Amino acid sequence: MNARIDLKNMASGLTDAEMGYRSFQLGSFQLRRDEYFAHIAWTTRDGRPMSHTMDVGDFLRALMRDVAWGFFYGGVNFDHVIGTVNHYKSVDLQAGAFNETMKAAGVDLLENFPVDQIREVFEQMLDDWTNEGFDPFAAPLETGSPYGRKHGNNTAAVTRARELAQRCVGLNGDLALRTDERGAPVNRGFADVEQDEPELHPEPGFENEVHAFNLFAFLSRSQVTWNPSFTSVVKYSYMCPTTEEHILPIMHANDRVEWFFQLSDEIQWDCADKLTGKPLVRVIMKAGDMAAMPAYCRHQGFSPKRSMLLVWENGSPNLVYEIQKGDAPEVPVKF
């Protein structure tokens, strides 16, 4: 067994194994957790032992998104050191590879894995490290503590599947979770959001085909935070509205331009160079504001109260390669 794994934990006097959590290995990376932290250890390119520590709540919130989103578009940075890069058939796990200081010191590492292998390990780690009462998708004020020795699990929350619409929202039989009766109460942050639905006057015979719904009311009932879901898909245009509270658990380094429409309240964004981590800009978005994130940046949002955001993605599978070849731009518009 790895010596690190048997170290006494000074706070509790317990070894990691006695705390009840499994340790994991992915290529040259070792991952373990104790009462407060996730620890990632690796050997640097020049053969030195190196490690990184994250608050385990932050780690699990990031891991939850990476797993649920199938590694998302481009780079998912758990913090300024650890992260993944999606190549769609394979995924990189990296430590320090997008941190200019660590790269210059030669202490970074990036390894590529078949998507099934890294997904399997991440899913097991997420399930094993998530204790009863902690939901990594919930806002911190709406869930229990991630800390302590292993106690129970929350498999239902960490394997919650995206709700698949049977029909367009608003049409008979849509089955969407959007009423009290369907188990989706209005969130405390949206108590003032009106719940009325649009009036519809379809021609006779078209009642089952013409529809409209109140997107604000729909979103006010979202049970999770920082989880863009599709509301409309038109070719590769994905409109992904979401509700946000506290901190986006990842620093997203997209491989394409994406757009943000601030539908309510306020989100503050920190944007940095995606390769080096050097800060670029802070964007303060208030209700009604729109912004585009260029493909060369990484971004992380801070939402002081629950807010509504529409993320607009171009889901074309070719776009990332068109940008790499210079055939598509990294910015939404050139002035």
Spatial distance between the Cα atoms of 296 and 275, rounded to a whole number of angstroms: 8
Q: Which is nearer to ligand PHB, 36 or 261 (CB)?
A: 261
Cβ atoms of residues 41 and 29 within 8 Å: yes
Helix, coil or strand: residue 51: strand
Render 104-117 in DSSP notation, one character per residue: HHT--EEEEEEHHH
Cβ atoms of residues 94 and 28 within 8 Å: no
Q: Quick one: which segment of 1-9, 143-151, 221-229, 282-290 binds ligand PHB (CB under 6 A)?
A: 221-229
Candidates 136, 146, 170, 228: give the one binding ligand PHB (CB under 6 A).
228
Q: Which is nearer to ligand PHB, 50 or 297 (CB)?
A: 297
Question: According to CB under 6 A, which residues from 249 to 268 bind ligand PHB?
Answer: 252, 258
Q: Is 248 in the site for ligand PHB (CB under 6 A)?
A: yes
Q: Which is nearer to ligand PHB, 157 or 311 (CB)?
A: 311
Q: Which is nearer to ligand PHB, 37 or 137 (CB)?
A: 137
Query: Long-range contacts made by residues 188-195, C-beta under 8 angstroms, separation at least 24?
Result: 188/306, 189/243, 189/245, 189/305, 189/306, 189/307, 190/219, 190/220, 190/221, 190/243, 190/306, 193/217, 193/220, 195/220
Q: Is 108 in the site for ligand PHB (CB under 6 A)?
A: no
Residue nearest to ligand PHB (CB): 252
Q: Is 137 in the site for ligand PHB (CB under 6 A)?
A: no
DSSP-derived pairing of the beta strands 297-314 and 237-247: antiparallel
Helix, coil or strand: residue 134: coil
Candidates 32, 39, 221, 252: give the one binding Fe ion (CB under 5 A).
252
Q: Is 39 in the site for Fe ion (CB under 5 A)?
A: no
Which residues of this protein are in contact with ligand PHB, per CB under 6 A? 226-228, 242, 244, 248, 252, 258, 309, 311
Which residues of this protein are in contact with Fe ion, per CB under 5 A? 252, 254
